[in-house]
Amino acid sequence: MRSYLYIFIGFIICSLTACESYLDAGPPKDQMPSELAFSDDKTATASVTGVLSRMNQLNYQFANVLSMILPAMSADEFVYAVASAPYDEFKNNAVLSSNSNVTTLWSQPYTYIAQANLCVEGLEASTNLSPKVKSQLLGEAKFIRAFCYFYLVNYFGDVPLIRGTNVMENNTKPRTPQAEVYAAIIEDLKDAKAKIFQGYPQVDKADANGERIRANKSAASALLARAYLYTKQWDLAEQESSEVLGATQYKLQPTADLDKVFQANNQEAIWQLQVVNTAGGRNTWEGFLIVPAAPTSAPLFRLIPGYLYDAFENGDQRLTRWVGSMTTAAGVTHRYPYKYKIRTGVTPAKEYTMVLRLGEQYLIRAEARLMQSKWGLAQEDINVIRNRAGLQSLSLGNDAVALRKALEQERRVELFGEWGHRWLDLRRWPSETGQEGKTRADDILPALKPKWQSKAIYFPLPDVALRTNPNLVQN
């Protein structure tokens, strides 16, 4: 897809009153009657693709850089180069409910959920759509809803589960237990998988092959595999990831092409967000923020010495290809995440924001197999990722402890700086001490962050939510 043809219409349609009040996304000044939004295939498609466009329209949003940098700073990956109170709160794991970034991490997913709810309701009620388009769009809307809830429940714990469009009812919803939210996520993804097709949808005639920027069946399976993994349904996680890995349209980029993993529509991409604002040849907001403006410019975000940078083994091509280096005139070397290579100046866009990719699926399946005592199969998946990075295979036999360490290592160096994987891993894995209620974050982060507290594995609910919904209780 070279452009979303109906972005503007989609924004109007999907920004109706369901986004009001504590979601902190005021009603638009112009609204289109909702019955017109789903009157034919064209306008219905615009409604759903408009949500995707809005997710990646501006910088410092939930669906781009904030879900990259904030969890990375909360974990042990990288830090901001200068003192900044809003960022330092994440770096020090002392996030205040007044932090504007935590407000964004809360309000924007709920805005997209409100838009998805409106799309689901309108699509289900419509009698004018072709069956194939209706099925695809319903699946995509439910996929978007599940995606947003996945991050809400991992950032905040119990969160209000909103599935309808009644504004007054939604604005007073209490927090829903995590287990129920996950059940809704899984239900949406199973339904999405049943409705969406395997091929990537076209949006215009120039989009002959279907860019990987709208959810297909494999995208639903990929996120479902992750949801099953996080809820410890190991056999189902293995099943879903195996289904994705068996799809012939996906392949890992070879070692020599590691630089291409984050390019638009590459063979490893399962789901990407397309660049919308291309001013100055911008490709992704991640690249625009992370890549230094000039060879002599110090990077804004830097890998923490002694932690992520030192975690790479000798010969690991991910260190060579995915970590940038800049040495100042004073001889100080700064290393920074360099998965995205383009800051500006490249048109048409060569890189898209990567959301779901094949590399993660091997690691999901490896963990699911490990937890089922399938030692050999788990090691095979770990070695696929190691070999692609230019490293030798491991031979750990049935050593469960060593395999667990190897899995954690590969997730750390393969997925760094992508959608908070490291932070979510540290908070979901139990402590190696076996102490009840403790996590891997308690094992690792105190040495880096002397004021670390176990309760910091969740962000606080933002003030705006608490002020406008009397039924919410703070973390």
For residue 348, whether the previous peptide bond is cis, meaning omega lies within 30 degrees of 0, is yes
Confidence of residue 6 (pLDDT cuts 50, 70, 90): very low
pLDDT band at 295 (very low <50, low <70, confident <90, very high): confident
Extract the tokens encoding 169.
């009812």
What confidence tens digit (pLDDT) does each residue in 327-349 have?
988 899 999 999 999 999 999 99
> Is residue 368 predicted with pLDDT exceeding 50?
yes
Number of domains present in the structure of the chain? 1
469 against 4, higher pLDDT: 469
* 356 assigned to some structural domain: yes
Residue 330: the pLDDT is: 87
In a domain, 357, yes or no: yes
Give the pLDDT band (50/70/90) at residue 286: very high
Q: Give dist(CA 89, CA 99) in Å, integer.
A: 8
268 in a structural domain: yes
Residue 29 has pLDDT above 50, yes or no: no
Residue 162: per-residue pLDDT: 97
d(C-alpha 321, C-alpha 341), whole Å: 10
pLDDT score, position 201: 86
Instruction: Provide the 8-state DSSP code for 112.
Output: H
Share of the chain above pLDDT 70, in %: 91
pLDDT confidence of residue 33? 56
Q: Is 162 within the bounds of a domain? A: yes
Contact 342, 350 (CB under 8 A): yes
CATH no. for residue 364? 1.25.40.390
Distances (CA, A) of 90 to 161, 260, 370, 415, 418: 26, 30, 32, 19, 16
The model's confidence at residue 37, banded by pLDDT at 50, 70 and 90, is confident
Mean pLDDT calculated for residue range 384-404: 98
* Residue 227 to residue 428: CA distance in whole angstroms: 12
Confidence check: pLDDT of 3 > 90: no
pLDDT of 468: 94
251 touches 259 (CB < 8 A): no
With contact defined as beta carbons under 8 Å apart, do 327 and 279 qualify?
no
- The pLDDT value recorded for residue 209 is 62
pLDDT of residue 235: 98
Tens-digit pLDDT profile for residues 160-211: 999 999 988 999 999 999 999 999 999 999 999 999 999 998 755 545 467 9
Q: Does 475 map to a domain?
A: no
Separation between Cα atoms, residue 143 and residue 119, nearest integer Å: 12
Q: What is the pLDDT of residues 234-269, one digit of tens each?
A: 999 999 999 999 999 999 999 999 999 999 999 999
Per residue, the 3-state secondary structure of 441-452, as one string, reads HHHHHHHCCCCC
The domain containing residue 203 runs over which residues? 34-273+351-466
Task: Yes or no: say if 447 and 146 are a contact pair by the CB < 8 Å rule.
Answer: no
Is 330 inside any structural domain? no
- Whole-number pLDDT of residue 112: 97
Provide mean pLDDT across the span 402-422.
98
List the structure tokens of 68: 């990259």
In a domain, 77, yes or no: yes
| The predicted structure's pLDDT at residue 137 | 98
> What's the mean pLDDT in 390-398?
97
Q: In angstroms, rounded to a whole number, what is the distance separating the alpha carbons of residues 390 and 405?
A: 19
Q: Is residue 344 part of a domain?
A: no
Output the pTM of the full model. Answer: 0.93
List, for residues 434-454, the tens digit of each pLDDT value. Answer: 999 999 999 999 999 999 999
pLDDT tens digits for 124-136?
A: 999 999 999 999 9
Q: Give the whole-angstrom CA distance, residue 467 versus residue 51.
A: 27
pLDDT at 34: 62
* CA separation for the pair 56, 195 (Å, rounded): 25
**Does residue 17 or residue 151 have the better pLDDT?**
151
User: Is residue 9 pLDDT above 90, yes or no?
Assistant: no
pLDDT attached to residue 204: 54
pLDDT of residue 329: 84
Mean pLDDT over the full length of the chain: 92
Query: Quick one: which H or E segment has residue 334?
Result: strand 333-337
